[in-house]
Structure 1
Amino acid sequence: MKAVPFRQFVLKVHSRCNLSCDYCYVYEMADQAWRNQPRRMSETTVNHAVERIAAHAVTHRLPSLAVILHGGEPLMAGTGFLADLVRRLRATVPAQVEVSMQTNGVLLTEERLKTLTDIGVKIGVSLDGDARATDRHRRFADGRGSHRHVDRALRLLGQDRFRNAFSGLLCTVDLEHPPLTTYKALLAYEPPAVDFLLPHGTWVHPPPGREADSVGTPYADWLLPIFDRWYDQQETWVRLFGEVTQSVLGGTPAVEGLGLRPSTVVVVDTDGSIKQLDSLSATYPGAADLGLNVSADSFDTALSHPLTGLRQGGIKSLAAPCRSCAVVRTCGGGLFTHRYHGSTGFINPSVYCPDLLRLISVVRDRVSADLARAAQ
């Protein structure tokens, strides 16, 4: 297959975090390489990364691309550092550059928000619902909950002067908390979008409440009451439901972990290492490593790596049960990370396969029934 150019560049500008979330794939799962990473991306590494992104844009004539500032916690790099990086990107890359940041929100202040807003950075905040749900997992190292700090930040971000910078909320699904209670807590901040993230797990280490060989659907069962409310009321854009619905209507899902569109995400770590999906840290040590670095290697070299080919391979790269599945066009085999098995690598259905099948089937049937009624 002809490789598809990268269009989403995740820059891990800081390798440490000010929270100690117990489900974090970076710090709590298989790959502990973060311990050996520089704390902050150096000026030299920033220059190399920006130059490589620009060269990729030129080579592939990209009219636009996205840069995601990530970590660890990216705000620990300092807003002055981030502002200089963004200005350098926009001055060097000959394409429209959309810059966003995913933060836990704890360090967001009025001054920092003003800086980020002025340079056009879109801000996504991680929050797992109300105080009880959030503080169950998203805690400081000393055990204190983070919810009140994030609540303060989100109230600032919701003000008219900063509102345009707010890109949405990222919520990791927790089966221990009622779905509608969680959703209502998120809606209280009037987010422009909500992303529900399935906890990272594999066939080796299944996610909480999900037995690897079970046909049960605990995650679909948790998500479906929220889907029903979202479908009826449309209070915000829920990316998972929106992408599945669009796929049912004939569109192509545009998010990682759904559909058969080739993955165009690449990661640059704080030491300049070019890597695959960051969430591969949940599988085994070194799973995301390509042996490349922006100091010496182009992103085109990363495009030719076999693991990139597997991530971009579409239906041909999926396990046999997936290729013959009725919802494969929407599911796409699930997130690449969630397919991992110790003996067969990534050529497996997602560990969430039963959940994805049920969720997509229910959405498809609901949309199809409405279309049939409308056609009468």
Structure 2
Amino acid sequence: MSGSDEDHRPAADSAVRRAPPIALRQFVLKLHSRCDLACDHCYVYTMADQRWRDLPRTMSPRVLEATAGRIGDHARAHRLDRVSVVLHGGEPLLVGPARIEHAVSAIRQAVAPVPVRITVQTNGLQLTEAYLRLLDRLDVRISLSLDGDRDAHDRHRRGPDGRGSHDRVAAAIHRLTTGHPHLFNGLLCTIDLRNDPVDTYRRLLAHRPPAVDFLLPHGTWHTPPPARVPQPGSTPYADWLIAVFAHWYHQPGPPVRIRLFDEIIQVLLGGTSRVAGVGTSAVAVAVVQTDGAIEMDDTLAAAYDGAAHTGLHVLRDPFDTLLDLPAVRQQQAGLAALSATCRACDLGRVCGGGLRTHRWAADTGFDNPSVYCPDLYALINHIGGTVRRDLALLSGAAR
């Protein structure tokens, strides 16, 4: 099945075809295709799509400069007020400081006069003081992966030699927060149900992150995530997140931003979401692999081999070409592109069907609710009830 294959539902497909394309605003550059960790829950190396084995280890200067030029052309053609670029991998810092500096300089120069917000997503092992000084000079924000305390983190995030990485990551975060706190973009934590939710949250807070992303482990209907079984009333991931939400929501003082909770509340109150997996806002992200291939969301590697493939390449194709592909139109069509189950759901507009990757099933493609559907419904329903109750109290107090 190719990356552009979709279900054929006449009414929904007609709405998808009519929907005007939305310009890309975020570009994920895979600077290095390998990693210095061997995390057992990584969608790049441990799941359905194993094409990473055939990719060049690093993005060549020619591909990088072509990518920067394509981003600039797209941003100016669509008169964007800003774009976001994420330096990604594998582990992007493995390319070395000189290539990081070249990448940032080439991107900013090619995209000018449009402002560019550049972030590096790293596991932290290469984040030395010298690297931090460079990223500070280049004004590059830093996001790090951390799953909680030593036991929680090292259960999954180990090196090829089996050695845990927690202490080295914690040391990198300490260097960041003590010397360059303004560069700290946030922490990414993959949920493991074996870890106590509130303790995990407190462990992350100890590093003083400006934001935390709690990530559901990648899985599909074909290969379900841990403990996600098709039993009525089973909502283990919602239960875990609701425990965190209760602590976060009722904590005195300004809370750290938890993007999942913030975006759900934003959509419940009538706004739009800025993250994939919540709401029905159009997907506006492109991924460029080390070989220059233009792809869709790379978490689709968890679905099937080649799920993110488009056949496009930065040396040949402008990014506008990506917007013409049926699969991309599908991801930009909002509620009309969701399964019949999601369109009929009272929370479908808020959930948005969940992350596209998590809807995959071998027999029906992406025409399904998320494999996390019961959890998402329970979580959104709980958050909605909490917010509505407090709004009612505030309204009564104001009378």
Which residue in the other structure is 1:310 paired with? Answer: 330
Q: Deviations over 1:232-260 (max 9, x none)?
A: 12431111111111222221111111101
Q: TM-score, normalised by structure 2?
A: 0.93
Aligned residue type for 2:144 = V
SS at match of 2:310: strand
- The reply to whether residue 26 of structure 1 matches residue 41 of structure 2 is no
Aligned residue type for 1:129 = G
- The reply to whether residue 83 of structure 1 matches residue 101 of structure 2 is yes
Distance 1:59 1:215 in 2: 49
Distance 1:293 1:68 in 2: 18
Q: Deviations over 1:212-239 (max 9, x none)?
A: 4654100000011110111112431111
- The reply to whether residue 125 of structure 1 matches residue 128 of structure 2 is no
Aligned residue type for 1:133 = A
Aligned residue type for 2:43 = Y
**Aligned residue pair count:** 375
Report matched runs for 1:5-24 at 5 Å.
5-24=23-42
Report matched runs for 1:58-77 at 5 Å.
58-77=76-95
Contact persistence 2:58–2:95 (CA under 8 A)? yes
Aligned residue type for 1:118 = R
Report matched runs for 1:1-376 at 5 Å.
1-94=19-112, 95-159=114-178, 161-212=179-230, 214-233=232-251, 234-376=254-396
Cα deviation for residue 330 of structure 1 reads 1.2
Distance 1:215 1:93 in 2: 50
Cα deviation for residue 324 of structure 1 reads 1.3
Aligned residue type for 1:313 = A
Contact persistence 2:198–2:244 (CA under 8 A)? yes
Aligned residue type for 2:269 = L
Aligned residue type for 1:83 = E
Q: Kindly tell me: are residues 212 and 16 of structure 1, through their superposed partners in 2, closer, same or farther at Cα, counting changes over 3 Å?
A: farther
Distance 1:167 1:203 in 2: 32
Paired-residue identity, %: 50
Distance 1:340 1:313 in 2: 18
Distance 1:61 1:71 in 2: 29
SS at match of 1:158: helix
Contact persistence 1:206–1:212 (CA under 8 A)? no
Q: Deviations over 1:83-132 (max 9, x none)?
A: 11111111110311000011001111111001011101000000000000
Distance 1:190 1:92 in 2: 34
Distance 1:344 1:213 in 2: 20
Q: Deviations over 1:162-189 (max 9, x none)?
A: 0000000000000011101111110000
Which residue in the other structure is 2:14 paired with? Answer: none
Cα deviation for residue 59 of structure 1 reads 1.4
Distance 1:249 1:7 in 2: 24
Cα deviation for residue 28 of structure 1 reads 0.1
Distance 2:302 2:66 in 1: 28
SS at match of 2:220: coil
Q: Deviations over 1:344-370 (max 9, x none)?
A: 111110000000000000000000000
Aligned residue type for 2:332 = Q
- For structure 2, the 5+ residue unaligned runs are 1-18
Aligned residue type for 1:311 = Q
Aligned residue type for 1:220 = A
Q: Kindly tell me: are residues 375 and 278 of structure 1, through their superposed partners in 2, closer, same or farther at Cα, counting changes over 3 Å?
A: same
Q: Kindly tell me: are residues 307 and 331 of structure 1, through their superposed partners in 2, closer, same or farther at Cα, counting changes over 3 Å?
A: same
